Amino acid sequence: MSTLAADKPGRPWAPLMSRLFAVACGACMLFCLALLGALLYKIFGFGWDRLNTAFITGKPSFMPAKSGILVPLVGSLYLIGLTAAIAVPVGVGAAVYLEEYAPLSRWRTIIQTNIANLAGVPSIVYGILGLGLFVRTIGLGRSVVAGALTMSLVVLPIVILSAQEALRAVPGTIRQASYALGATRWQTIWYQLLPASLPGILTGVILSLSRALGEAAPLVAIGVATVVRQVPENLFTDEFTALPLQIFYWTDMPDEAFHEAAAAAIIVLLTVLIGMNALAVFLRYKFGKRIQW
């Protein structure tokens, strides 16, 4: 093809330009990957030595060398566990309603547009909502429950949109077959649609939970503390903190030794996140192949 263009008089450089352009685009891609590589390399190099069991099971301390991440780590696990418990049923329920119950009406268009826009609202704004609603009005304070409710609102659009996509991927013939056999709407959803769309829904759930795990801004806005001495016992009342907040706090300290601790905490956070991501990719790969319509 390029030889054809080369034959044209007046454009002797065309094939070369074309080649150069391809190389430039490829270089862009390689540069992006290099950025990712450099970022991971630097962080792992900086924090690796600091990472040990004492670090993971240690309590916070004003001495950077003695500090550990037990409290924020457990706080983060409580937080995403509770977030999952709230956001997954509500999000999947909303997706099921929109896909299977809502007629093609104005009402549905409104909800759908609304969800698309919510997905673009900055997470700090959700934090302000959480502050006004859960912390103040409902009076949950700076508890895990208040944090999880706020975080649920942050990830709800992601859960809904991915579950909708998964439900839409189930062929209409499955619905028709089920209804034609005298199944009710809910039976069709429960026995056919949800099982068939489960891999897609799970992928979305994992991605939204990894978002919840890494988010710090909404937690800052609702006033979650950065230094907490004890693992929370009562999820409704006790103060808690989360891993990204701890990283934020340590990064903000001028002392270099805190930066090492922050790097070690980032390694823990990224390991969990990349593990979750890999699980999502695996699920999509495995189940995506199994069901071939």
Residues 24-83 that bind another protein (CB under 8 A): 24-29, 31-33, 35-36, 39, 42-43, 46
Residue number, 233 or 293, with CB nearest to another protein: 293
Residue number, 106 or 234, with CB nearest to another protein: 106
114-173 residues near another protein, rule: CB under 8 A: 114-118, 120-129, 131-133, 136, 153, 156-157, 160, 171, 173
Q: Does residue 14 belong to the site contacting another protein (CB under 8 A)?
A: yes
C-alpha to C-alpha distance for 286 and 271, rounded to whole angstroms = 22
Residue number, 65 or 281, with CB nearest to another protein: 281
95-114 residues near another protein, rule: CB under 8 A: 96-98, 101-104, 110-111, 113-114
C-alpha to C-alpha distance for 148 and 166, rounded to whole angstroms = 25
Q: Which residues contact 141 (CB under 8 A, 6 or more apart)?
A: 135, 237, 239
Q: Which of 65, 186, 237, 288 binds another protein (CB under 8 A)?
A: 186
Q: Pick the closest to residue 132 from 235, 215, 221, 212 (CA basis).
A: 221
Q: Pick the closest to residue 60 from 224, 230, 234 (CA basis).
A: 230
Report in angstroms how near the CB of residue 79 gets to another protein at its nearest: 13
Total number of residues binding another protein (CB under 8 A)?
116
DSSP 213-248: HH--HHHHHTT--S---S--S-TTTS----HHHHHH
266-285 residues near another protein, rule: CB under 8 A: 266, 269-270, 273-274, 277, 281
For tokens 């805190």, name the residue. 258
Residue number, 139 or 234, with CB nearest to another protein: 139
Report in angstroms how near the CB of residue 81 gets to another protein at its nearest: 18
The helix or strand, by DSSP H or E, that contains position 280, with its residue range, turns out to be helix 256-290
210-269 residues near another protein, rule: CB under 8 A: 210-211, 213-217, 220-223, 226, 244-245, 247-248, 251-252, 259, 262-263, 266, 269
How many Å from the N-terminal Cα to the C-terminal Cα in the chain?
38
C-alpha to C-alpha distance for 183 and 178, rounded to whole angstroms = 6
